[in-house]
Structure formats: C-alpha cells, structure tokens
Amino acid sequence: MPVDETARTPQVQNSMSQTLFEKIVAREIPATIVYEDDLVLAFKDINPQAPVHILLIPKKPITRIGAAQAEDERVLGHLLLKAAEVARQSGIAESGYRLVFNNGRNAGEAVPHLHCHILGGRPMNWPPG
C-alpha cells in the first residue's frame, strides 16, 4: 500500500502541532516582545499578575521542565541567565523578583510549552497560593 508522504512533511506537522507559544515565536499571534535571541523569546504575559510579568520561553517547544532532556541543558542554562538579564532590563532586579515554572496540573500549568514567569514590581507572599 503506498505511503502518503504529504502527511509526514514538516510543514504539515508544524501547522497541526504548534503550541500557542510557538505561534508567538513565528509571529502568527501578536505579543509584546521584550527580548529575543537564537534560543529564547521573552514577551509580556497577556494577563499580568504583577506590575512586571514576562514569560521567557525556549524557542524549542520543550513541553515542560519535567519533559526536558539532557540535550536541553544548554538552552535551559541560557534561559536562566537571560531571565536575570530580562529582570535587570525591566527594572525589577534591585527590589527583587520571582521566577516560576508551573509543571503539571497541580501547579496550574495551562500552556504545554516550557515557560519561565518573571514576576516583579510588588512584594510577594510565601508560601505561594
């Protein structure tokens, strides 16, 4: 039986499986982008929970921190260093800020594309809700 090669082309796979955040990377969905390089993208959260609320994502669609592989070590290290840089550039470094990775249902993860919440500009409670 002949194999339908069109079902395997990257283009077809991409259009069917892109995450919301991949669409922001591809500029298919608008966002206020505050930082970008080859590996990561940072943009303002659409529903901010603090005066500064930025999402920093790897361009590679790693689903969540619990799904990351050894090969993702470089991009994840880069992402953490850039989180600190974005926080400095956003003016929240001196007063302090929080980095959050929601992983799975109990943590409230809504978008299955790894993202670091960078939150600052107000005092925060501990323990978190």
Query: Mind telling me the catalytic residues?
Result: 115
Number of Cβ atoms within 10 Å of the Cβ of 42: 25
Q: Is 106 in the site for ligand 5GP (CB under 6 A)?
A: no
List the structure tokens of 107. 């943590």
Q: Is 29 in the site for ligand 5GP (CB under 6 A)?
A: yes
* Binds ligand 5GP by CB under 6 A, chosen from 43, 57, 62, 76: 43
CA 117, distance to chain mean position in Å, is: 8
Mask: binding to ligand 5GP, 66-85, rule CB under 6 A, as x and -? --------------------
Site for ligand 5GP, rule CB under 6 A: 20, 29, 31, 43-47, 55, 102, 108-111
